[in-house]
Chain A
Amino acid sequence: MAQETRTAYGEVLAELIVEDPKIVVLDADLTKSTKTALAKKACPERHFNMGIAEGNMMATAAGLAASGKTVFASSFAMFATGRAFEQIRNSICYPKLNVKVCATHAGISVGEDGASHQSVEDIALMRSIPNMRVYCPCDQFETKAVIRHVAKIAGPCYVRMGRGKVEDVYNEETIFDFERANIVRQGKQAAVFATGLMVQECLEAAKMLAQEGIELTVVNVSCIKPLDEATICQVAAEHELLFTAEEHSIIGGLFGAISECLIAHEPKKCIPIGIEDTFGESGPSKEVLRKYGLCAEHVVEVIRQTMDSCKK
């Protein structure tokens, strides 16, 4: 089945707000898009619309958290982490307050709205702030588990979600461990560290490569910070070729995080698949993703080319 991660967020938040009286939800005039409207319906008295004023929303969230609340603050990834970066840094992360910045519409899969609304820098921004944890779940089941996870742990968290429907990778029975990167498919020659919707694309690429006799390992790195360095290093040691795949700029995101880990612990070449240092553009989601190389076919091409050049 395919579902939007943002819908999964809204559904689980609607459960959590009823279960936990400490939870308060803030939104910036996007309740229907971010799906916090579902939580509002479940518990209107603890959902506040803060209007189109993201900076104020984040610092208000900090004030609520300083009064013992667990605050979920939502907007599009672009505005949550871009417009309100400094409020997240100074009012939430510096005092280590219990605010969960849950952003939807991340990356270029936003589609038609174009580059002004396509956040390709948010992982880089959020993971550079001390005290911040960064999560990027790939499907509805992982999203629900991540949201329940961040609701339980103390301190600031960033959760990155998308706009469009994504195929299920996991199921209702899956037990998640966000301390560990998850090896979704065990291969041999090459390994790809993927996050968000690129997990599905890499799994699809793995099927295509298998027909050519190439066995691709796919690691879902849904917790980008703190990074599971042990699993990253182990996978790196066991494979000849390493790749990363993300719907984010190759500067400072998953590629940045994996590269930092590898250089420090298991120096090895790693090739990025992501958005080259550029802005996105308008268009239907699938077309835009394809144009910028965020599809299974491009993953196959990059891996095949890399293997060919190694043989030469």
Chain B
Amino acid sequence: MDNKELQSHATEIRKNIIKMVTSAQSGHPGGALSGTDLITVLYFEEMKIGPENVGSYDRDRFVLSKGHASALLYGVLAEKGLLDKALLPSFRHTGSPLQGHPNMNYVAGVDMSTGSLGQGLSAAVGMALANRLDQKDHRVYVLLGDGECEEGQIWEAAMAAAHYQLDNLCAILDFNGLQIDGDITAVMNPTPFDQKFKAFGWNVVEINGHDYDEIRAAYAQARQCKGKPTLILAHTIKGKGVSFMENQAGWHGTAPSLEQCEQALKELEGK
């Protein structure tokens, strides 16, 4: 797929995100927008997933460890045609399958229930072990938040993934530098990520998380790396694509007003 097409899918996903959090008047737009390009390439180029296998676990899997970016997951599933777009406005509303943090039993294509930070990487370790036991060459992808790496369990899972040489596991770290209370280095500095993951025995690839060529090359490099799991350390911009949200910690968990929503959609459409 050429980069223009990817860009067009990413824009639609970002619009889905903005509309969802506006409809819910709650949610987490900042960290959903920062991870959008990474996840767009993942679903439209890298992962083997489609209507024929979405209901099965016998395929590539994706765990949204930073479960608060659920609008991104629902947004990409809808753009990929795996989730009915008509459901998106029900996001975070009573009775909707689109829970604030994703539930795997409500939506085909949600591969793990997440939301409590630090647990998704461990679940992905379990899936990667299962693939090995079943002699399947499926791959397991995980999206981590940078603030999420303050959870001790991330490092327990990182240790386990390297110990069991899970080269079928690829974690993507959405390094946007901001968490709820501000700059990650000011709140509780979890960096340097590259040195830490390398020291834990991982293959680390550092990229610009909004550059499709770099993202594509990183997934390819991860696939080729044998004997160890890969971390794609992706430098991103929180709120990417919406000028007034970019690099603002305040947009971590705040919904735009109707006027702000309109402005955001206009910007995304390039008007």
Contacts and interface: CB of A to CB of B under 8 A. Distances in A.
A25 B160 CA distance: 15
Contacts, number: 108
A28 to B, nearest CB: 10
Interface in B101-119: 103-105, 111-113, 115-116, 118-119
Contacts of A284: none
Contacts of A91: 112-113, 116, 119, 122-123
Contacts of B113: 90-91, 94-95
Given A66-B126, A90-B113, A60 B160 contact: yes
A90 B127 contact: no
A56 B131 contact: no
Given A63-B127, A67-B127, A90 B104 contact: no
Interface in B249-266: none
Contact of B112 (A46, A63, A69): A63
B231 interface: no
B133 interface: yes
B135 to A, nearest CB: 11
B41 interface: no
Given A50-B160, A55-B153, A60 B133 contact: no
A232 interface: no
Interface in B148-169: 152-153, 156-157, 159-160, 163-164
A64 B116 contact: no
B57 interface: yes
B234 interface: no
B131 A67 contact: yes
A59 B119 contact: yes
Interface in A20-61: 24, 45-46, 48, 50-51, 53, 55-61
B87 interface: no
Given A51-B159, A86-B116, A96-B105, A66 B122 contact: no
Chain A interface size, under 10 / 10 to 19 / 20 to 34 / 35 or more: 20 to 34
A60 B57 contact: no
A293 B197 CA distance: 51
A56 B160 contact: yes
Contacts of A46: 133
A68 interface: yes
Interface string B117-141: 0111011111111110110000000
A60 B129 contact: yes
11 contacts: A51-B159, A53-B153, A59-B153, A63-B63, A64-B126, A64-B129, A66-B123, A67-B127, A68-B130, A86-B116, A90-B116
Interface of A: 24, 45-46, 48, 50-51, 53, 55-69, 71, 86-87, 90-91, 94-96
Interface of B: 57, 61, 63, 103-105, 111-113, 115-116, 118-120, 122-131, 133-134, 152-153, 156-157, 159-160, 163-164
Interface pairs A-B: 9 shortest CB-CB = A63-B126, A59-B122, A67-B130, A63-B123, A56-B156, A53-B156, A64-B126, A95-B113, A60-B126
